[in-house]
Amino acid sequence: MEPFIKTVGLKKYFKTPSGQLHAVDNVNLEIARGTTLGVVGESGCGKSTLGRTILNLLPATGGQIYFEGEDITKPSKKRLFALRKEMQIIFQDPYASLDPRMSIREIISEPLIVYKEVKGQALYDRVSELMDTVGIARRMENYFPHELDGGRRQRIGVARALALNPKFIVCDEPVSALDVSIQAQILNLLMDLQKERKLTYMFITHDLSVVKHISDEIAVMYLGECVEKAPKEELFKNPKHPYTQALLNAILEADLKTSLAEKSIIEGEVTSPINPKPGCRFASRCKYCMEECLSDNILLEECGKNHFVACIKAQE
């Protein structure tokens, strides 16, 4: 079957005074319809840039983006306007992503007005329905964002993303700014909505426990590159890339017998993403580094069923 979302050699570079910053570099991903791809990695690895490039919020520097088999890498203005209905985003910060001068009802109704979906009483009813869907009391319709807590603000962001009945949603760390108890509520809401509406998600996060809870497959990014991709059970059970192994080892387990000294700690300097040299970008921090790692660009290759890794040692 044709993947619902597919990227082929996707690149996004930014110009800096020192050269080109490779925020996303040669990323190949596929997302099946109705599933969730979790994208994990440390801050600055290009997760959010990848999501925004797929949505054409940022123009791609190179490569291709496919949506339901259609190349949408460089859509016309008319096509892009139509695509906005089918591809939405939930932003990370519910404090910054909502207009403070608009009421809750105005924020949720804005996309419906822009696309002239409904008007009059039908518009009022549609917004009320969306508020019910995400668990916002209708009595709050005339509240402003500053009058609500973080959890309710993020629910408004979810309602706004759902307003046009999209097929694909990029969730850009939607729970990272929330308390732990509120995080669970938002995650459960997103999972329920996915089942009800058959949504497809790209869920971006740096929290491995969150991505394990919500994802079907997981892609691990490091300095703009996808270094490993696998079904979540396989990734947590059998991580292949040294960076993935270090990430999983960083999770403090409940087993009191496991000491910090026994855990793998990443050492060494982070390679600059500006004009990077050929070779593995994790090489300077990898205890398994070989000469070949420094000279060759290592591609993402299948090392097991639906398990892909960009590492010479793991591919042996």
142/103 Cα distance (integer angstroms)? 5
pTM of the model: 0.92
Helix (H) or strand (E) holding 15: strand 5-16
Q: Residue 263's domain is classified under what CATH number?
A: 3.40.50.300
DSSP H helical segments within 55-120, as ranges? 77-86, 104-114
More confident residue, 252 or 296: 296
For residue 12, pLDDT beyond 50: yes
Confidence at residue 265, expressed as pLDDT on a 0 to 100 scale: 65
Residue indicated by tokens 């050492």: 267
**Strand, coil or helix: 31:** strand
Give the pLDDT confidence of 176-217 residue by residue, as tens digits.
Answer: 878 888 888 899 999 999 999 999 999 999 888 889 889 999
Mean model confidence pLDDT for the chain: 90
Give the pLDDT confidence of 254-308 residue by residue, as tens digits.
Answer: 444 444 445 556 777 788 899 988 889 998 888 888 888 887 778 899 888 899 9
Give the pLDDT confidence of 82-130 residue by residue, as tens digits.
Answer: 999 999 999 988 888 999 999 999 999 999 999 998 999 999 999 999 9
Q: Is the Cα torsion angle 267, 269, 270, 276 positive or negative in sign? A: negative
**Strand, coil or helix: 270:** coil
Query: What residue type is assigned to position 170 of the chain?
Result: V
Produce one character per residue of 29-64: b if its CB has 16 or more CB atoms within 10 Å, e if not.
bbbeeebbbbbbbeeebbbbbbbbbbbbebebbebe
Nearest C-alpha neighbor of 278 from the set 103, 26, 107: 26
Contact 257, 247 (CB under 8 A): no
Confidence at residue 294, expressed as pLDDT on a 0 to 100 scale: 86
Domain holding 25, by residue range, is: 5-315
Residue 75's CB is within 10 A of a number of other CB atoms, namely 16
Q: What is the domain count for the chain? A: 1
Strand arrangement of the beta sheet that strand 301-304 belongs to: 87-90, 168-172, 200-204, 36-40, 217-222, 225-231, 307-309, 301-304
